[in-house]
C-alpha cells in the first residue's frame, strides 16, 4: 500500500511547536551524531561537504563536522538564536569546519548540486510542505548524493502506565502540532515524501529512544503545555516524571535516499 505524503498545505501557517525555551534547549543538547544520527553516520566520509537542515543548537552538527573533517558541514536553521548558539558552541569546542547560517529549508541559499550529502534531524514533522522542502534539498544535492532524514512518529509511542490523562496530553500535543502546520505522523511517510520529491532507493528504518530519566522529556513537554495555556496537561507531564513505574519510549523513523 502506498501512503501519500498528503497535499501541499501552503495555506497552513507554520509554527515551530517545540519553541526555544531553556527546557527545549536542554532537551536538544542531549543529542549527538552517535545517539541520534547513527542511521546516517556510516554514509559520511572524510572530506565530504554536508548540509544539515534545521540544526537547532547544533549538537549533531558538531558530530558531523568531526566525522567528515577536513570536509565541511554547513548547517541552516530559520531561527537566528539557534544559529548564534550553535556558532558559539563550535567556537568553544574548537570545531572550525562547521558553518552556520540563518535560512529556511524551503529556500536554501546555495547553488544547485553544492553538497555531497544532506541531513535533517527532527525538522520534517514541523513542516507543512515536506515534499517541497525535500525538493529543495534535492536541488542542492549533487547527483548520486544521499539524503538522510529522521523524525519522531507520535503514532507509535510507548507511554505507560496508560491513563486517560496521559493519553489526553499526548493527543493535545499532536493536535497542536497539526494546528501549527506540522504532521506528528510523518515518520512512516518519509520514504513517500522523498520519492515524491524525486529521490530514489528510499530505505526506512526505525528505533526507540527510551527517555531515562523521564524528566528528559517530561520537563520540555510540561514547559510547552504551560506556554500554550494547557496547565492540566503540564501537570500530567510533571506527575509522569515522578512516576517510578513510568516509561516514555519515542519512536524515531529515518529514511535514506539518493538523488538520481
Ligand atoms: C526539533 S529542532 C531539531 C534540532 C536538531 N536538528 C536536533 O535534532 O537536535 C527543529 C529545528 O528546526 C528549525 N526549523 C523549523 N522550521 C524550519 C524551516 N522551515 N527551515 C529551517 N529550519 C526550521 C527550528 O528553528 C528548530 O531549531
- The percentage of residues in the chain with a pLDDT greater than 90, rounded to a whole number, is 87
Position 13 confidence tier, pLDDT thresholds 50, 70, 90: low
Residue 206, number of CB atoms within 10 A of its CB? 15
- Tell me the CA–centroid distance for residue 75 and ligand 1, in Å: 10
What is the value of pTM for the model shown? Answer: 0.93
Measure the CA–CA gap between 226 and 233, rounded to whole angstroms. 8
Residue 237 above 90 pLDDT? yes
Residue 250, number of CB atoms within 10 A of its CB? 17
pLDDT digits (tens, 9 = 90+) for 159-191: 999 999 999 999 999 999 999 999 999 999 999
Q: Which single residue is written with the C-alpha cell 547527483? A: 143
Residue 86, number of CB atoms within 10 A of its CB? 22
- Tell me the CA–centroid distance for residue 74 and ligand 1, in Å: 14
CB of 104 shorter than 6 A to ligand 1: yes
Computed from CA positions of residues 149, 205, 41, 151, in that sequence, does the dihedral angle turn out positive or negative? Answer: positive
**Residue to mutate, 123, 173, 223, 253, ligand 1, most ligand atoms under 8 Å from C-beta:** 123
For domain 22-153+183-207+252-258, the CATH superfamily is Vaccinia Virus protein VP39 (3.40.50.150)
Q: Are 116 and 145 in contact (CB under 8 A)?
A: yes
Amino acid at each position: 500500500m502506498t501512503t501519500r505524503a498528503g497535499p501541499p498545505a501552503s495555506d497552513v501557517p507554520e509554527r515551530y511547536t517545540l519553541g526555544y525555551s531553556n527546557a527545549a534547549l536542554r532537551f536538544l543538547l542531549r543529542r549527538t551524531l552517535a545517539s541520534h544520527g547513527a542511521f546516517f553516520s556510516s554514509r559520511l566520509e572524510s572530506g565530504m561537504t554536508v548540509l544539515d537542515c534545521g540544526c537547532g543548537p547544533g549538537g549533531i552538527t558538531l558530530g558531523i563536522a568531526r566525522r567528515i573533517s577536513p570536509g565541511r558541514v554547513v548547517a541552516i536553521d530559520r531561527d537566528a538564536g539557534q544559529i548564534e548558539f550553535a556558532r558559539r558552541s563550535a567556537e568553544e569546542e574548537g570545531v572550525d569546519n562547521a558553518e552556520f547560517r540563518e535560512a529556511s529549508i524551503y529556500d536554501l541559499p546555495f547553488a544547485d548540486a553544492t553538497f555531497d550529502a544532506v541531513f535533517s534531524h527532527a525538522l520534517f514533522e514541523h513542516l507543512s510542505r515536506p515534499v517541497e522542502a525535500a525538493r529543495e534539498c534535492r536541488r542542492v544535492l549533487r547527483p548520486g548524493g544521499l539524503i538522510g532524514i529522521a523524525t519522531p512518529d507520535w503514532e507509535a509511542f510507548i507511554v505507560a502506565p496508560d491513563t486517560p490523562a496521559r493519553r489526553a496530553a499526548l493527543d493535545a500535543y499532536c493536535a497542536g502540532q497539526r494546528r501549527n502546520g506540522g504532521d506528528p505522523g510523518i515518520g512512516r511517510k518519509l520514504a513517500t515524501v522523498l520519492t515524491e520529491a524525486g529521490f530514489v532507493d528510499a530505505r526506512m528504518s526505525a528505533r526507540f529512544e527510551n527517555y531515562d530519566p523521564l524528566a528528559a522529556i517530561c520537563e520540555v513537554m510540561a514547559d510547552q503545555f504551560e506556554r500554550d495555556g494547557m496547565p492540566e496537561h503540564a501537570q500530567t507531564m510533571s506527575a509522569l516524571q515522578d512516576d517510578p513505574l513510568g516509561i516514555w519510549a519515542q519512536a524515531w523513523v529515518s529514511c535514506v535516499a539518493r538523488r538520481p
